[in-house]
Chain A
């Protein structure tokens, strides 16, 4: 039985686990964007906060993913076995690229443009929404894309703590030494990563075009 036939035979389970996988990534990235972009903006306003926040995010990024899942299990409220813990772990991993790119993008706006905006009598909020965010959108989007692709990969490990996802196949395959099972998890995961990357870049192009029209 070749791998395609094997996957076809298991199609309903693959779809089910893919949906779980996408759900994990979608929820954690959405929360990461909701936290990361405001934090990145805050860092440009309070430069003294910037270093500790980036250091924290960097440290989180260096924790091996399997270990991070393990660390979270005993923590009350956010820990335990299941989806919630997996979402928290993915969220922590996704924060760094989003925060860093938001900070870098906004800091990279030409100071002359910002000064002109102030000189025109724009308020801080107007400068943020009408000048800084539109001009750094490309960089911020790149951060979200990177975070999404990483999260799709890391989410395979969520199966280890009972959160489901395509990691189920991979773990099963490694314990049974069955490469077909591993591929049945890895191939759809790769497709999800590619599709997410493509989807994000389309979204980015859409926003960029809208801005110009």
Chain B
């Protein structure tokens, strides 16, 4: 399994800074590596810069300084369109196209890549089965005809469609009720284990971070203040980490 080769670096941030036009720095001195097959969870409060960091990876935002390497290549030397098609992107349920049915939503990137229609149809069925939605029942439905949990599954299926090596997930399960959320987290952990994709997962929920992450990156005011395994996280002496750990009681 690719997952067992920790030496392969899939993603690297080198002293990255991101400032808005007013000069205020949203991210400062960010350096870390993500290995092939890892699930790095970025944990932090609202406004700590975790979503900003995620958007730098697929160039929805451009860094003010520093370098970001995806598969060993600086994102600035990638064509942004090609880069984004190599990276699955899942955001909260609103990201599905309301005027496309499930089939077209999931098959979007393959159709942009001009796959033949038969191949797309096969891939869509495969993915819907993978995320636990029966294609006969759901392929023709529109997003408004699905529950929150089902929409989120479609979002994950869509991100996986062109088999990208890297997945970015921005609080994908944030809008779900606690029961659905815990079910879908469990399935998602299993999915990650099976597919061996490299993932960056943003959340503000400490339970989700501990349950899903192979490592947890703690963000505070635009800095990455800790990058540790879930076991280590609970023993950190850092005040922000203790504040999050305190939520568990």
Pairing of A with B: yes
**A119 close to B97 (CB less than 8 A):** no
**A123-B95 in contact given A118-B60, A212-B142 (Cβ < 8 Å):** no
B198 located at the interface, meaning its Cβ lies under 8 Å from any Cβ of chain A in the complex: no
**A115 close to B60 (CB less than 8 A):** yes
A116 neighbours in B (Cβ, 8 Å): 89, 91, 94-97
Please pick, from B80, B82, B92, B99, the residue contacting A112 in the complex, using a CB distance under 8 A: B92
Chain B residue with minimal CB distance to A123?
B81
Other contacts beyond A112-B91, A212-B142: 20, CB < 8 A: A112-B94, A113-B94, A113-B96, A116-B91, A116-B95, A116-B97, A118-B84, A119-B60, A120-B109, A120-B112, A120-B158, A121-B83, A121-B84, A122-B81, A122-B108, A123-B81, A126-B112, A131-B97, A211-B99, A212-B99
Chain A residue with minimal CB distance to B80?
A121
A212 neighbours in B (Cβ, 8 Å): 99, 142
- B residues contacting the other copy or chain, number (CB 8 A): 23
A82 neighbours in B (Cβ, 8 Å): none
A50 located at the interface, meaning its Cβ lies under 8 Å from any Cβ of chain B in the complex: no
Chain A residue with minimal CB distance to B164?
A121
Expressed in whole angstroms, the Cα–Cα distance for A123 and B98 within the complex equals 19
Query: Distance (Å) between the CB of B43 and the closest chain A CB?
Result: 21
Chain A residue with minimal CB distance to B94?
A112
B58 located at the interface, meaning its Cβ lies under 8 Å from any Cβ of chain A in the complex: yes
Please pick, from A110, A113, A120, the residue contacting B89 in the complex, using a CB distance under 8 A: A120
Expressed in whole angstroms, the Cα–Cα distance for A123 and B113 within the complex equals 12
A135 located at the interface, meaning its Cβ lies under 8 Å from any Cβ of chain B in the complex: yes
B85 neighbours in A (Cβ, 8 Å): 120-121
- Give 10 A-B contacts (CB < 8 Å), ordered by A residue: A113-B98, A116-B94, A120-B85, A120-B89, A120-B108, A120-B112, A121-B109, A122-B108, A134-B99, A135-B98
Query: Distance (Å) between the CB of B112 and the closest chain A CB?
Result: 6
Residues B75-129 near A (CB distance < 8 A): 80-85, 89, 91-92, 94-99, 108-109, 112
A135 neighbours in B (Cβ, 8 Å): 98-99
Binding site for A on B (CB under 8 A): 58, 60, 80-85, 89, 91-92, 94-99, 108-109, 112, 142, 158, 168
Interface residues on A, range: 10 to 19
B60 neighbours in A (Cβ, 8 Å): 115, 118-119
Residues A85-139 near B (CB distance < 8 A): 110, 112-113, 115-123, 126, 131, 134-135
Please pick, from B92, B95, B112, B142, the residue contacting A122 in the complex, using a CB distance under 8 A: B112
Please pick, from A115, A121, A134, A211, the residue contacting B95 in the complex, using a CB distance under 8 A: A115
Binding site for B on A (CB under 8 A): 110, 112-113, 115-123, 126, 131, 134-135, 211-212
Expressed in whole angstroms, the Cα–Cα distance for A123 and B82 within the complex equals 10
Expressed in whole angstroms, the Cα–Cα distance for A123 and B80 within the complex equals 9
**B91 close to A120 (CB less than 8 A):** no
**B112 close to A115 (CB less than 8 A):** no
B80 neighbours in A (Cβ, 8 Å): 121
**A119 close to B58 (CB less than 8 A):** yes
Expressed in whole angstroms, the Cα–Cα distance for A211 and B100 within the complex equals 8
B112 neighbours in A (Cβ, 8 Å): 120-122, 126
Query: Distance (Å) between the CB of B170 and the closest chain A CB?
Result: 9
Output the residue of A110, A113, A116, A211 with the most chain B CB within 10 A.
Answer: A116
Expressed in whole angstroms, the Cα–Cα distance for A150 and B11 within the complex equals 58
Expressed in whole angstroms, the Cα–Cα distance for A117 and B58 within the complex equals 12
Expressed in whole angstroms, the Cα–Cα distance for A49 and B168 within the complex equals 35
Chain A residue with minimal CB distance to B95?
A116
Output the residue of A118, A131, A135 with the most chain B CB within 10 A.
Answer: A118
